[in-house]
Structure 1
Amino acid sequence: MLLAALDAALERGQRAAIATVVRVRGSAYRREGTRMLVLDDGAQVCMLSGGCLEGEVVEAALGIIASGTPEIVHYDLSEDATWGLGLGCGGSVDVRLERVERDPVTLAWLDALRSGDAAALCVPIHGGGRFLLREHPGHGETGESETLLGQLDDPALHAFAVTAARARLHTRDPRAATVAAPDGQEVFIDVNAPAPELVIYGAGHDAIPLSAQAVTLGYRVTVVDPRDAYLTRGRFPGAALSPLAPEDLHGNLVLTPRTQAIIMNHHLDRDRVCLWHALNSAAPFIGMLGPRSRYHQLTDALAQEGLHATPEQLARVHSPVGLSVGAEAPEEVALSILGELMAWRRGAAGQPLNGHEGPIHHTYAARRELEQDPEPQPG
């Protein structure tokens, strides 16, 4: 919505500013990276809060549109100010306001947003310059190539920010954040992350709700099954369909570090081949439907063929896949599986919130631990 509105405004010759949340202290309705568009006539697209903060942001953004000088504005959401702002949270946010220009870095960033490429736009909190680190879809196991456009004025901060941006793009769930260099300087890393990828081996009846719910949650879903009667658009709307037979998977279906795979063929031979394919891919999450004993049966069968998985490969397997919520019907099983996938991506425990003290959402410490604990590489 924001990007379409910006494109339309630029075509009309309107000037515009983008307001971006660059820091959250305490609790707030939105997290870092939330954006709002403000046009030179005072119109706004998207929101940064529950509603009352937007008027102040629009007023400040109009000044930025006139001056062209970026600015960071601090908004206090403490309990005393909460009722005035209507946000209902105790904390504060810093919002960066910047006029939209047609410079190469901005144009490349907007293009990355349109295409869905993984990209990080890095801007110092204090100081000049900025750069865009962008990953382009390619071929091979990594499936990506990288370009860097622009530079921060401070060379040491630039070097730190490039490393930090690259690390952030390669986390399980890339998110925007303000990070501090060793010398105390800070840089805001805005992130555009591609949709998570889900490969479902098997087009049986219980794969239908899993695919449908995953599509609703924004996953890019691929369903793999050689049976034409099962693999149809009517059964899997919104998903890509791959009619590959198990023996044709290697070399024809690439699972990247952004792929999560679920094996649910309900057929021992097909599941065995699909498991070996997934183990020898870059997929960091491999889910096996069914009891643990069935998984052991599959790995034993692979071993008898002389196909021995490494401990690092097996560490990526989740068996049985799903959270323990008492799921029985296919729709419930799908919910259980997607619940575990979300918890895995976000670094959450997947436990009830009842009785939990403190912030409900991710803490910065938890995110840092997630970033410092990279996924094991495929063997």
Structure 2
Amino acid sequence: MLQGIREARAAGEPVAWATIVGVTGSAYRREGTRMLVRRDGSYTCMLSGGCLEPEIVEVAQQVMRDGQPVRTEYNLDEEVMWGLGIGCGGAVDVYIEPVQDEPVTNRWLEALERGELAVLATPLEPGLGRLFVGEAASAGALADAGLEAQARARAHQVLQALQPRAATHALRASDGRTVPVFFDVSLPPAELVIFGAGHDAVPLSRLAVQLGFRVQVVDMRDKFALPSRFPGAQVRLLRPEHFARALEVGPRTFVLVMNHNLLIDQSTLAFALQTPAPYVGLLGPRSRFLKIAEGLAREGTPLTPEQLRRVRSPVGLAVGAETPEEVALSILAEVMALQRGYPAGFLNGLEGRIHDPTEAPVV
């Protein structure tokens, strides 16, 4: 989409963005999904399985001609006479707007290009402005001071979440009326640090890269820590005593320890537990983790109860994984579930929204 915007601007042609800003019931995609439409009717990305797009293109072309945004609801229930007959049983609220060449929009596009953590607050009523809020600075303003204060507070709450989600929130303007404001989110890629470059780390790294993770593979063995073995990942040749100085592990970095060496895993785990990583996984049976904990206690650095709870051991979901590829799938499924706040239960029989972690079943 970003490339499409660059090309359209270079050619002096308009483009429009169609964004899902609300979902009722079941739908193909969730809030924050975008689709870019060009003047000739071609488009990049999709909001559905292909049924919504022709109608959205038609509306977007009108938006490009008029220069005014349009908010419209598409009913996906096949039983509704004038619905689209998709059969999902829900509805999507779509906001279609021209992509303007102005400071706030350009700052948002820059954040998306760079993979910055940021929020774009857009009131879904015309004439109220737009607000960009990043970790270090903001841009733009809303026409109503009370609305802007609430939008800023909400945006900062979103920035603090481990996996922020785009959503529309009802805020109250200074005159007392309720205004829907859509909070879109720009997220940097999730980071995964794999300690250990053994053979089983290869499919794990490969799958993580395919899922969009920014992957680092760390090992002290030069015969294993080879970039050619881990396409798309950054490979670091480091000893444990150099981790603290050379590695940056933040609150959005997921850590997996799989050196297949008890002493190296012990040193690595001690380092990982000093970081704010939200996920620290240790490959191997629970008995192995207990041996490592005993070793740290003998060295005079016993793990605290909180640190013991932080370590995921055994690592992964119980799906009967045996091969390295299956183990990789099990591990990354657990990482994704924790990252997004889901209990990782079966979906079978669930009648609520499958994308609502509060409704997902626990098994």
TM-score bin (small chain): over 0.9
Q: What is the CA-CA distance between 1:83 and the residue it aligns to?
A: 8.8
- State yes or no: 1:177 paired with 2:171: no
Q: Which residue of 2 aligns with 1:283?
A: 277
Q: Which residue of 1 aligns with 2:106?
A: 107
Amino acid at match of 2:274: N
Provide TM-score, normalisation by structure 1. 0.88
Q: Which residue of 2 aligns with 1:373?
A: none
Q: What is the CA-CA distance between 1:86 and the residue it aligns to?
A: 4.7
Q: What is the CA-CA distance between 1:19 and the residue it aligns to?
A: 0.9
Amino acid at match of 1:317: V
Amino acid at match of 2:66: S
Amino acid at match of 1:24: V
Give CA deviations for 1:48-91 in whole Å, capped at 9, x if unaligned: 12223222222222222122222211222233248952533111
Comparing 44-53 and 7-16, the one that deviates more: 44-53
Comparing 306-315 and 244-253, the one that deviates more: 306-315
- Equivalence map 1:13-28=2 (5 Å): 13-28=12-27
**Contact 1:17–1:98 (CA under 8 A) maintained in structure 2:** yes
SS of residue matched to 1:123: strand
Give CA deviations for 1:109-148 in whole Å, capped at 9, x if unaligned: 111111111121111123501111224xxxxxxxxxx211
- State yes or no: 1:232 paired with 2:231: no
Q: Which residue of 2 aligns with 1:6?
A: 5
Q: Which residue of 1 aligns with 2:117?
A: 118
- State yes or no: 1:60 paired with 2:81: no
CA distance in 1, matches of 2:81, 2:241: 60
Q: What is the CA-CA distance between 1:250 and the residue it aligns to?
A: 1.2
Q: Which residue of 2 aligns with 1:133?
A: 133
- Aligned-residue RMSD, C-alpha: 1.9
Give CA deviations for 1:14-68 in whole Å, capped at 9, x if unaligned: 0111111100111111111111112223332222122232222222222221222
CA distance in 2, matches of 1:153, 1:308: 56
Question: Identical aligned pairs, as a percentage?
Answer: 51
Give CA deviations for 1:240-290 in whole Å, capped at 9, x if unaligned: 011110111112111011100000111111111111111011111000111
Amino acid at match of 2:348: N
SS of residue matched to 2:19: strand
**Contact 1:51–1:86 (CA under 8 A) maintained in structure 2:** no
Aligned with residue 159 of structure 1, among 125, 128, 149: 149
CA distance in 1, matches of 2:235, 2:82: 51
Amino acid at match of 1:228: D
Q: What is the CA-CA distance between 1:366 and the residue it aligns to?
A: 5.8
**Contact 1:122–1:165 (CA under 8 A) maintained in structure 2:** yes
Provide TM-score, normalisation by structure 2. 0.92
**Contact 2:16–2:97 (CA under 8 A) maintained in structure 1:** yes
CA distance in 2, matches of 1:38, 1:212: 32
Cα distance change of structure 1 residues 366 and 309 upon mapping to structure 2, 3 Å threshold? farther
CA distance in 2, matches of 1:241, 1:83: 55
**Contact 1:29–1:87 (CA under 8 A) maintained in structure 2:** no
Q: What is the CA-CA distance between 1:174 and the residue it aligns to?
A: 2.1
CA distance in 2, matches of 1:53, 1:354: 27
Q: Which residue of 1 aligns with 2:139?
A: 149
SS of residue matched to 1:360: coil
Amino acid at match of 1:261: V
Amino acid at match of 1:108: R
Cα distance change of structure 1 residues 273 and 82 upon mapping to structure 2, 3 Å threshold? farther
Amino acid at match of 2:251: P
The answer for unaligned runs of 5 or more in structure 1 is: 136-145, 368-379
The answer for unaligned runs of 5 or more in structure 2 is: none
Amino acid at match of 1:74: E
Comparing 80-89 and 197-206, the one that deviates more: 80-89
CA distance in 1, matches of 2:282, 2:171: 41
Give CA deviations for 1:164-183 in whole Å, capped at 9, x if unaligned: 22222332322211122367
Cα distance change of structure 1 residues 166 and 313 upon mapping to structure 2, 3 Å threshold? farther
CA distance in 1, matches of 2:185, 2:11: 28
CA distance in 2, matches of 1:327, 1:52: 37
Cα distance change of structure 1 residues 194 and 366 upon mapping to structure 2, 3 Å threshold? farther
Cα distance change of structure 1 residues 38 and 358 upon mapping to structure 2, 3 Å threshold? same
Aligned with residue 300 of structure 1, among 281, 284, 294: 294
Q: Which residue of 2 aligns with 1:359?
A: 353
- State yes or no: 1:248 paired with 2:254: no
CA distance in 2, matches of 1:65, 1:214: 39
